[in-house]
Structure 1
Amino acid sequence: MVDAFVTSDEHPAYGICPSRRFPLGGFDVAERPSREYPFNPADGHRYTAAGVPVCVHPEKVGVPPGRYATDGAPLFSELRLPTASADLDRYLRDLMHSAAPGMLEQLIDQAVEQIPHVFPEVDVVQALRRALG
């Protein structure tokens, strides 16, 4: 059996989230709850019509909305830097601590590439150390 993708009690995913039961890519992620993904009171999960479990809080699992289990959509997360460097530390900390384990390396790579272009005055390594610390 494959391990669930979220295993830490400190991760912001809800206790009933499919990410705590299924591996990354083993469930879909929707932008928000909808009638398209009805709630099953028997186990507390939402499902597609085909029976695929669905997380409806992408910001909690650190994975953008996508039909990962249904269509095999590739997993990818995009760094969206804030407009002010004063907001960078908080943004990076929140992003890195809620990121899917499989996405963290992508986000760090994007930060290393993008931050010097947007905020040339920021020491990227120090910003990432603060975010991951």
Structure 2
Amino acid sequence: MADAFVTGGEHPSCGICPSRRFALGEFDVYEGPCAEAPFNPVDGHRYTAAGVPVCVHPHKVGLPPGRYKTDGTPFTVELELPDSPAALDAYLYEVMHSAAPGVLELLIEQAAEEIPRVFPQVDVVRALRRALN
């Protein structure tokens, strides 16, 4: 079995979430419970008709909804920086601490590019250090 990307007790994903059993790209993430991914009372998980495991809480696993396993959807994330640099630390902290590890790397790369463009007066390295601590 592949190493799950969600580890440790502090992550908000459900105990039966496929993110705890499968690596990134090995399950789909839906916006919420739906008929396309019914609950299986036998094992307590949700699956597509093709048997692909499904997470229905994107905010808990730090991934945007996507058919990652079913369609091979690539992971893409877009930072939506706040309007002022004063709100940047809180925003980055929330985004970084709720992201899946594979997505976290993409967020850090994007932050390193976008922050200087939007807030040229902000030291990117210091902002990222504060967010990741």
Fold match by TM threshold 0.5:
yes
The one-letter code of the counterpart of 1:96 is M
Q: RMSD of the alignment, in Å?
A: 1.4
Compute the TM-score of the two structures, normalised by the length of structure 2: 0.91
Q: Any gaps of 5 or more consecutive residues in structure 2?
A: none
Distance 2:8 2:72 in 1: 25
Aligned pairs, number: 133
- 2:88 counterpart of 1:88: yes
- 2:41 counterpart of 1:41: yes
Q: Secondary structure at the match of 2:46?
A: strand
Name the residue aligned to 1:97.
97
1:41: how far off?
A: 2.2
Q: Secondary structure at the match of 1:40?
A: coil
Structure with bigger strand share is 1
Distance 2:25 2:41 in 1: 23
Q: Structure 1 runs of 4+ off > 3 angstroms?
A: none
Contact 1:30 1:66 in 2 (8 A): yes
Compute the TM-score of the two structures, normalised by the length of structure 1: 0.91
Contact 1:28 1:68 in 2 (8 A): yes
1:127: how far off?
A: 0.9
Contact 2:2 2:21 in 1 (8 A): no
Contact 1:46 1:54 in 2 (8 A): yes
| C-alpha distance 35-8 of structure 1, shift in aligned 2 (>3 A) | same
Contact 1:37 1:46 in 2 (8 A): yes
Q: Within 5 Å, give how 1:7-46 maps onto structure 2.
A: 7-46=7-46
The one-letter code of the counterpart of 2:51 is G
Distance 1:74 1:64 in 2: 11
1:85: how far off?
A: 2.2
Q: Percent identity?
A: 71
